[in-house]
Amino acid sequence: MFRDGCPGGESPAQASVRADRVVRHLRAVSGDVLLFSSGHFIRVLATRWIGLEVTANARRFMLSTASLSAVGYEHELARPVIRLWNETNHVRA
């Protein structure tokens, strides 16, 4: 998926463009935003949030089902960070 895309679906470049649109929208909002999405797209979004290329990096962001993750900034908008990743303490076994 992150290298070649999905048959009949988005290429990594197309997913990256879509994530970049979301990132631009999020950075224009003052205040908190809550997003729900598929795990694959959240991995792409996180990769683009911190300025990495999707094809080389998105697969490295492991996500569990129903996990919580958060992105934000370190002191200023020019320093995007991953604040929380793949938190599953709320999920009962």
Domain ranges within the chain, ordered by starting residue: 12-87
What pLDDT score does 5 carry?
75
**CB count in 10 Å sphere of residue 49:** 21
Measure Cα distances from 43 to 11, 30, 76 in Å. 14, 23, 23
Tens-digit pLDDT profile for residues 34-88: 999 999 899 999 999 999 998 888 889 999 999 999 999 999 888 999 999 999 9
Task: Report pLDDT for 93.
Answer: 66
Retrieve residue 9's tokens. 């679906």
Mean pLDDT of 8-32: 92
Q: pTM for this structure?
A: 0.89
Single out the residue of 73, 70, 86, 68 nearest to residue 27, CA to CA: 73
- Neighbouring C-beta atoms of residue 76, cutoff 10 Å: 7
Give the distance between the most distant pair of CA atoms in the chain. Answer: 41
Q: Quick one: fold of 12-87?
A: Rossmann fold (3.40.50)
Q: What pLDDT was estimated at residue 1? A: 72
